[in-house]
Chain A
Amino acid sequence: MKFKLENTDQNLDGEIVKSIGNNEFVLKIQGKERDLKIVTMTHDKVEFMLDSVYHITKYLENSTNRITLVVDGVKLTFNKRPEMDKIVYKNSGADSASDSQINLKSQIPGRVVSINVTAGDNVKKGDVVCVLESMKMQISIKSHKDGVVKSLKMKQGSSVAKNDVLAEIE
């Protein structure tokens, strides 16, 4: 199976050759056979030995075409289906791109201190849409693109969580 490491040009090839049982596997990575033994598995972490080198992994996100994990403290994302992307994205935009095109999401949790635009306003990329307060600091949230404010999804004084949609900008 082919995997592409996101944000790089690197493509890797890997597959499970066989499962020996007792949580031991023979893998083939980049053409070379490697031994893997799972040391422990908890509900969010796996510790394993890959050819007698210890590694610890935490799985963050997993979807049909992507997986994000933290290996030995380093976070990375693999695209699991690099060959299919072209076909699947033909009719829709790329996964996250089409979402953020309309939705302006909050990067942080916080309280809405002020809302600086109303529905129907024209905004340019970088214009302040609202101000959030978090950890004693006020942070202005700026528009991610030029456009027209379609709707506001927050109100003054309310609390927002990370990744909440604050406004729709078309």
Chain B
Amino acid sequence: MHSEKIKNFLHKRRQAEQSGGEERIQGQHEKGKLTARERIDLLLDEGSFTEIDAMTTHHYYEFDMQNKKFFGDGVVTGYGTIHGKQVFLFAYDFTVLGGTLSEMGAKKITKIMDHAVKVGCPIIGIIDSGGARIQEGILSLDGFASIFYHNQLASGVVPQITISVGPSAGGAVYSPAMTDFVIMADKISTMFVTGPEVVKTVLGEEVSFDELGGAMSHGRNSGVAHFVGKNEYHCMDIVKTLLSYIPQNSTEEVPVVETGDDPNRLDNNLINIIPENPLQPYDMKEIISSIVDNHVFFEIHELFAPNVVVGFARLHGKTIGIVANQPMVLAGALDIDSSNKASRFIRFCDCYGIPIITLVDTPGYMPGTQQEHAGIIRHGSKLLYAYCEATVPKITLIIGKAYGGAYIAMSSKNLGTDVNYAWPTAQIAVLGSEAAVRIMNRKELDSAKDPAVLKKQLVDNFTEKFANPYVAASYGTIDSVIDPAETRPALIRALDALANKRERRVPRKHGNINL
């Protein structure tokens, strides 16, 4: 019965699955890019994808558009599962009108975002788009605005992840920028506000697509990309791993996975990672790797601001966020980029109930006009604000130097940190000994008979009295000086004791973080 209708339906469905047609799919493949549906297939669990709005079309008629109607209208939306967890996604379809965004496309995307927020599941966007559909003019721009609005509505409610596997230009780049994590595929994806042609015309500057806004550029220079994937497979792997660490929405508990790593595992070798000479650098990631479950650390923003290290790991099966100085880069000093990187990460962890563990070894802030004129004061304050704002369990471990403002900024006790530990090698002071002596004892040094000897004496004196964790411990600013070998069990026990932490603040619309 109704065989004609059924036949017609099946035909339409097949057509919808064809997107822009066989020829355009070939063209996409020749460029070394996969189609939207192939990407969804790689990302989601086998057979779990349900597409919605497959048969939407645009309703435009200017510029002869009525003869260029395609099912889907350049975006594929729907939902499915990744390793069993429900997610909602939209993928721009480059084979349909270059993946340009139209009024209907924006409607599809905002519809799926609304659905995700209603049920509390993450939103994943796969970007491969020529930008606004010029023919639709203002409707296309309004479409983007609508997407941005929904990005904000969802921000901090459900995790939003962007996978950039193609171009994305002009205003379109702002949606990814508002999401929580951006993964760009090397050599395939580009993001910039104004393209190389306009740059050439207006400024006379010649620059390639990849140099201006390629994955490595954003991974290293601007920090727009949190991850740079080697290829599309790798991008999907990154997203799947990322999702395994974070909860589905802001009310869900942090995922717990059986890792099999003994929570009481000691490491007698940890202390040997720190060189005897405090001026010699070491790799903070070695310390992180020893402490976390199965030595697995999922680093975020690896290439950007490497003087600070952020990422996810597990302790006793539970996800934690790690923020740590990296003594191997700029001696671990804080600066504009690192303050931004760490603050954003801390605020994400706070949105989703992920405890934050901070490892400290920093000599202070980077000096110089470049930093000052670029506003290290403004950007540095973000880090302080983020730590104060966060109400998730916060634990700090001071490993080495912690001087002055940087000591305060790296999650010190009075910023609302719950547990503060220090190793015996910690040096907590306002200034390094040399600098302190130079200032405090300037008169004595100037009038001394043998200033070098006196200076050494004063420096040693200062070091002994102040450059250690015990003064802070005597005031309770450090809760405990711990044996480095016992770091892992100490952190796990502190986390267990903070399990149901609850903090209430005076209600307000929102604070005014210095941006």
Contact = CB atoms under 8 A, between A and B. Distances in A.
Direct contact of A and B (CB under 8 A): yes
A91 B232 CA distance: 10
B186 interface: yes
A81 to B, nearest CB: 7
Interface in A69-98: 81, 84, 87-93, 95, 98
B485 to A, nearest CB: 15
Interface stretch (B28-36, B96-104, B447-455): B28-36
A89 B231 contact: yes
Given A87-B32, A87-B34, A90-B32, A95 B230 contact: yes
A121 B251 CA distance: 55
Contact of B237 (A64, A89, A93): A64
Given A43-B258, A161-B295, A92 B237 contact: no
A87 B33 CA distance: 6
B287 to A, nearest CB: 13
A88 B32 contact: yes
Contacts of A161: 289, 295
B167 to A, nearest CB: 13
A84 B43 CA distance: 14
B188 interface: yes
Nearest to A86: B29
A159 interface: yes
A8 interface: no
Interface residues on A, range: 20 to 34
Interface in B229-266: 230-234, 236-237, 240, 258, 260
Given A43-B258, A92-B186, A64 B230 contact: no
B42 interface: yes
Contact of A81 (B42, B47, B258, B289): B42
B187 A95 contact: no
A91 B188 contact: yes
Contact of B32 (A16, A63, A65, A91): A91
A63 to B, nearest CB: 5
B299 to A, nearest CB: 14
B230 A98 contact: yes
B258 A92 contact: no
A105 to B, nearest CB: 15
B205 interface: no
Given A91-B187, A92-B230, A99-B230, A64 B240 contact: yes
A88 B187 contact: no
Given A64-B42, A92-B231, A99-B230, A87 B188 contact: no
A103 to B, nearest CB: 12
Contacts of A159: 269
B446 interface: no
B258 A87 contact: no
B38 interface: yes
B56 to A, nearest CB: 27
Contacts of B32: 87-91
A95 B187 CA distance: 14
A92 B187 contact: yes
Contacts of A99: 230
Interface in A54-68: 63-65
Nearest to B238: A64
Interface string B264-292: 00000100000000000000001001000
Contact of A88 (B231, B240, B258): B231
Nearest to B186: A92
A108 B244 CA distance: 29
A106 to B, nearest CB: 14
A92 to B, nearest CB: 4
Contacts of B289: 161
Nearest to B43: A64
Interface string B283-310: 0001001000001000000000000000
Contacts of A91: 32, 186-188, 231
A138 B32 CA distance: 45
Interface in B16-51: 29, 31-34, 38, 42-43, 46-47
Nearest to A94: B231
Contacts of B38: 84
B237 A88 contact: no
Contacts of A43: 258, 260
A81 B34 CA distance: 12
Contacts of B269: 159
B267 to A, nearest CB: 11
Nearest to A92: B231
Contacts of B230: 92-93, 95, 98-99
A16 B34 CA distance: 24
29 contacts: A43-B260, A63-B233, A63-B237, A64-B42, A64-B233, A64-B236, A64-B237, A65-B42, A65-B233, A81-B233, A84-B34, A87-B29, A87-B32, A87-B33, A87-B34, A88-B32, A88-B232, A88-B233, A89-B32, A91-B188, A91-B231, A92-B186, A92-B230, A95-B230, A95-B233, A95-B234, A159-B269, A161-B289, A161-B295
Given A65-B233, A92-B186, A95-B230, 4 more contacts: A43-B260, A87-B34, A92-B231, A95-B231
Interface of B: 29, 31-34, 38, 42-43, 46-47, 186-188, 230-234, 236-237, 240, 258, 260, 269, 286, 289, 295
3 nearest interchain CB pairs?
A90-B32, A91-B187, A64-B236
Interface of A: 1, 16, 43, 63-65, 81, 84, 87-93, 95, 98-99, 158-159, 161
